[in-house]
Structure 1
Amino acid sequence: MTVLRGIQAVLLDIDGTLFSSEDMLLDVYHEAMVDFRKRHGRPETLPDLPAIMAQIGQPVKKIFQNLLPELAESDRDEIAAQILDDLVKRIEEGQGVHYDGVADTLKRLHDAGFRIFSASNGRKAYVDAILKAAGIDHLFEAVPAIDNVRIFNKNELVACTLQDYGLKPEQCIIVGDRTTDRDAGKANDVAFVATLYGHHGSADEHEGAVATIESFSELLTLLGVN
């Protein structure tokens, strides 16, 4: 594996890179949708797990627009809020899976002087819960999030992170498993490192990556950390 030189900051996707919520998503989504249907008579049909997983990595509003196009935005927002509350509660209770080597790898990167940022389309409460559950939140310099005011997608999130924290694109990498990670890197001239694990659907999502990793701990080798 060729070592990437001159990198000072690592921008990390969360779902499919550090953590997987796949084992609880169907229950969480269906419970919220069924609860809404009991009160409002809709939606008529519920998405299955493959349909839900296909949306992971998209901004939240886009996820629910794609899954529940027949509902009004306010209805989708209500369901999304209930799902967020349930996900955070379950993560705090220990559900979900942090991938092997995440905590140790991030600590070693941090100790080696790398600046670490999240670059997730997930809502901030969700990302914060994941990082705190693994005991790694203190290793992140910042956890920026889509606010639908200044930042509407991952391209803008990465752009704002670079601007707000004085980061030079050529000194950063973005690590992730989906096209949104690849595209955010490309839009901001930040090198993309693709994970071969996670939630990606096909190899096409890794097109243009400067490197691929089969486990999160391989970042240490890629960045020359002994």
Structure 2
Amino acid sequence: MTKKYDQPDAMIFDMDGTLFRTETILIDAYYRMFDSLRDEKLYEGETPPVENILNSLGMLLAAIWKRVMPDASEETHRRADDLLLEYEIDELKNGKPELYEGVEETLRILKERGIRLFVASNGLEPYVKDVAYYTGIKPLFEDLYSAGEYKTASKVELVRLLLEKHQIRSAWMVGDRSSDMEAALGNNLIAVGCDYAKFRSSGELKDADLRITSFSDILNHLV
């Protein structure tokens, strides 16, 4: 039997691996970034496997670079921030960014039902806003929150700021990583685990109140 919940005032969505198929722009941007780092003499050697960054999606960039290139300098990490952002935005403009199946249609239904929609992402501000813009879903959201804009150290803190600013009484936090589940738990929200991106590590969704195997499945859990 499908577990159902009363309709919340709001739903807060992670971006990468939840709404957006990040790999549709990230892979090419990642390889371009390492080519530039080598050209600028900031990195030597082969490009680390792209799975290293795909499996780190949802983390803050500083933590991602410590995992992807742990021996590189802080200067290299900060330059990687700039280059990856530049190339990702280029790929958004000129490539073929894709949402997960059913995302736009489901978001429209939720909005029509009177649910306030937000994004909370650990990404950089221009990236988060440009993904929403170039995939056509930006008008569906009341606001877009990013760690890059608010300088938060955790998604728990980022979501708390969002809830306080918009005076939200009840909400679901929807995402695919442990940081999303922690943000829900830390703010007394319903935690919805997205079980379709496949980038996460085993056990990351163990604290989810419910799991969905397709984005549109979220509708089946509303009373």
The verdict on a shared fold, with TM-score over 0.5 as the criterion, is: yes
Question: How do 1:33-44 and structure 2 match up within 5 A?
Answer: 33-40=34-41, 42-44=43-45
User: What is the rounded CA distance, in whole Å, between the counterparts of 1:218 and 1:203 in structure 2?
Assistant: 21
User: What is the rounded CA distance, in whole Å, between the counterparts of 1:72 and 1:96 in structure 2?
Assistant: 31
- Whichever residue aligns with residue 118 of structure 1, its letter is V
The answer to whether the 8 A contact 2:29-2:91 is kept is no
User: What is the rounded CA distance, in whole Å, between the counterparts of 1:99 and 1:149 in structure 2?
Assistant: 27
Q: Deviations over 1:179-208 (max 9, x none)?
A: 111111112221210111013434511112
Unaligned runs of 5+ in 2: none
SS at match of 1:52: helix
- Whichever residue aligns with residue 79 of structure 2, its letter is E
Asked if 1:31 corresponds to 2:32, the answer is yes
* Counterpart for residue 209 of structure 1: 208
The answer to whether the 8 A contact 1:26-1:48 is kept is no
CA distance change for structure 1 residues 162 and 43 in 2, over 3 Å: closer, same or farther?
farther
Structure 1 runs (4+) greater than 4 angstroms displaced: none
SS at match of 1:40: coil
* Counterpart for residue 199 of structure 1: 198
- Whichever residue aligns with residue 29 of structure 2, its letter is V
Give the TM-score taking structure 2 as reference length: 0.92
User: What is the rounded CA distance, in whole Å, between the counterparts of 1:200 and 1:27 in structure 2?
Assistant: 17
Asked if 1:162 corresponds to 2:163, the answer is yes
Sequence identity percentage: 28
* Counterpart for residue 122 of structure 1: 123
RMSD: 1.8
* Counterpart for residue 96 of structure 2: 95
User: What is the rounded CA distance, in whole Å, between the counterparts of 1:86 and 1:142 in structure 2?
Assistant: 25
Q: For residue 164 of structure 1, report the CA deviation from its aligned partner.
A: 1.2
User: What is the rounded CA distance, in whole Å, between the counterparts of 1:149 and 1:134 in structure 2?
Assistant: 23
- Whichever residue aligns with residue 28 of structure 1, its letter is A
Q: For residue 177 of structure 1, report the CA deviation from its aligned partner.
A: 0.8
User: What is the rounded CA distance, in whole Å, between the counterparts of 2:148 and 2:39 in structure 1?
Assistant: 30
Q: What is the number of residues matched between the two proteins?
A: 222
Q: Deviations over 1:66-107 (max 9, x none)?
A: 212222223211122111111112112242321111111111
* Counterpart for residue 152 of structure 2: 151
The answer to whether the 8 A contact 1:196-1:214 is kept is yes
User: What is the rounded CA distance, in whole Å, between the counterparts of 1:117 and 1:197 in structure 2?
Assistant: 20
* Counterpart for residue 183 of structure 1: 182
Q: For residue 219 of structure 1, report the CA deviation from its aligned partner.
A: 1.5
Q: For residue 149 of structure 1, report the CA deviation from its aligned partner.
A: 6.0
Unaligned runs of 5+ in 1: none
